Amino acid sequence: MACGISEVRYLNSEKEGLTAYLQNGYHGQMKYMENHFDKRLNPQLLEEGSKSIISVLYNYYPNQKQTDPNAPIISKYAYGKDYHQVINAKLKGFFEYIQSIGGEVNGRFFVDSAPIMERAWAKQSGLGWIGKNGLLLNKEFGSFFFIAELLIDLELEYNLEQAKNYCGKCTRCIDSCPTEAIIAPGKVDARKCISYLTIELKGNIPAEFKDKMKNRVFGCDICQDVCPFNKKSQAHLEPEFIPNKVLMDLTKDEWYHLNEEKFTQIFKKSAVQRTKFSGLKRNIDFIKDIKDNPVEFSSEL
């Protein structure tokens, strides 16, 4: 969809923000974010000898919608096949192409698989700016895209001009967040974020969020749906992201009575597998208008 290139260096500009984010505990139970602090800021520690980082944006915006407007909602990025598998295959082909024209080229590629500050590097390469919801925004594409990276030991021509921040006085994402997770422009307290609560959190979802989930059971999208720049979003052309019709046609009642066998059939190759059945069942039960005991979520993420 789009790519930008930056020179590998130490991200000194991100150090203070990352330190404060971790010290304030905004990452919640995502303890892995405390690991490899220096590697997050210096990609050369991830791949010795790397000189360039290629940031890639890959569109996932769907032209399909869930049929039942009252059914529990999952994030658009999880409609199709698990993006890790799809994009890894694309990056492998891209890397092999670079090697075919560049000779002996060494490097690595990532999609959510390494401690690398993907949004910061995408911003550095001119692909967008960090919006008030903390996501990378692109003036032409919006934000419904995955970010991936290739680290290589070639010197290339770099995008030296960063994108202008076009958010202006708009606060739609902040105003629309039902759990008030966006605590300041560009700062998100993950512990309040619906995506975190439905995917990353282990144990019970805090009762304070009972009436604030907006029917979400895997991820969210609210702050993206209201963003003016996403009015320009175009449907992706990736066959692997075309959703299972059975999934899209699930009714509210079918969601509420989902069992493990059906879960396995529908989400066999989906990113929703991350929560396992127990996690998704916990989320479904949490949004129900019932007073059952909360489901304990004990699967390892």
Contacts of 9 (CB under 8 A, 6+ apart): 42
Count of residues in the chain: 301
**pLDDT > 80? residue 89:** yes
CB atoms within 10 A of CB 2: 17
* Residue whose tokens read 């995502």: 30
- Beta strands 216-218; 73-74: pairing state: parallel
Whole-number Cα distances in Å, 57 to 90, 244, 267: 12, 24, 25
Separation between Cα atoms, residue 45 and residue 49, nearest integer Å: 9
Chain segment 52-63, per-residue pLDDT in tens: 999 999 999 999
What is the Cα gyration radius of the chain?
A: 20
Element of type H or E holding 4? strand 2-7
Residue 289: band (very low, low, confident or very high) from pLDDT cuts 50, 70, 90: low
**pLDDT > 50? residue 169:** yes
Separation between Cα atoms, residue 249 and residue 255, nearest integer Å: 10
301: tokens are: 């993420």
Q: Which residues have a catalytic role annotated?
A: 112
CA end-to-end span of the chain: 30
CB atoms within 10 A of CB 164: 9
Phi-psi region of 126 (alpha: psi -120 to 50; beta: other; left: phi over 0): left
Separation between Cα atoms, residue 278 and residue 201, nearest integer Å: 12
CB atoms within 10 A of CB 49: 11
Residue 298 is predicted with a pLDDT of 38
Which residues partner with 107 through β-bridges? 152
246: tokens are: 């059975």
190: tokens are: 């993950």
Rounded to an integer, the average pLDDT of 165-193 is 97
Element of type H or E holding 217? strand 216-218
Rounded to an integer, the average pLDDT of 254-264 is 97
Answer whether 26's CB lies under 8 Å from 188's CB. Answer: yes
Percentage of the residues of the chain whose pLDDT score is greater than 70 = 96
Residue 291 is predicted with a pLDDT of 43
DSSP-assigned letter for residue 197 = I
Chain segment 18-71, per-residue pLDDT in tens: 999 999 999 999 999 999 999 999 999 999 999 999 999 999 999 999 999 999
Separation between Cα atoms, residue 190 and residue 210, nearest integer Å: 17
Residue type, 131: G
Separation between Cα atoms, residue 28 and residue 114, nearest integer Å: 19
Which residues partner with 54 through β-bridges? 5, 150
Chain segment 207-245, per-residue pLDDT in tens: 999 999 999 999 999 999 999 999 989 999 999 999 999
